[in-house]
Amino acid sequence: MSGGAVSGAADGAVWCTGAGKGIGRAVCLEYARRGRLVVASARTEADLAALAEEAKSLPGRVVPLVVDVTDEGAVMAAVDRIETEHEQISLAILNAGTHKPVNLADFHPETFRRLMDVNVFGVVNGLAALLPRLIARRAGHVAVVASVAGYCGLPSAAAYGASKAALINMAEALEPEMAAAQIRLTLINPGFVKTPLTDKNAFRMPFLITAEEAANRIAHRLDRGRGFEITFPRRFTWQLKFLRLLPYPLFFALTRRLVADR
């Protein structure tokens, strides 16, 4: 538990954004296996309907709720609807994200705007809707899903990595105040997880794991209630943590090899 004794009741609703595919979908199913009421949000109704259908055989329940996280008003309305029609949100997993590789030959401002809008402002909108309620209750748990791509600048990740670095910085900045308000904040930085997003990558992805493995690790660590950061697989993530500490001549000697190996 970070920053002292902060609370997060396990009997409220779990709200997960970006639940239509990948890690978000797998996390929803994992919490349904654990008997929780899960409200799953994404933009595509068909994806959410299929998720809710798959969860019917599990001890918990998945309730689909279509929302575009880039729409501030829609996110506010979604949080209000969850707490009015279902239960108070005790755990929010702000996971919605998108990815597009960026190279010099395909460098467009619109790519950066889109990734920042979804990856950063999607989380900001979720926090803006949640924080007044959690502050008033002096309870709750928010998990922000970033990425190890935010640790340092990596080739082809200029837009994606920048958006995830923004989330890491924002979470670090918010943690002390949230802890003081008895709200637990967890930063999740996965390595390579096999999802429709990573399927876009044209390079080798070391220590690739399935979305189901990632969801199990995330839920286990969130429910244990200890630590600020969840990152995996450690053999890979600690290499990137070390990489960002290197002097620039050494750092670029290594990252330039990634470009040369394409």
CA distance 120 to 125: 9
Which of 190, 241, 184, 182 is CA-nearest to residue 218?
Answer: 190
Is 160 noted as a catalytic residue in this protein?
yes
CA distance 93 to 219: 10
| Residue 15 DSSP one-character state | E
- The strand ranges marked E within 83-135 are 89-94
Task: Name the active-site residue from 31, 151, 160, 248.
Answer: 160
CA distance 229 to 257: 29
Angle subtended by helix axes 72-85 and 121-137, to nearest 10:
40
Catalytic (active-site) positions: 160
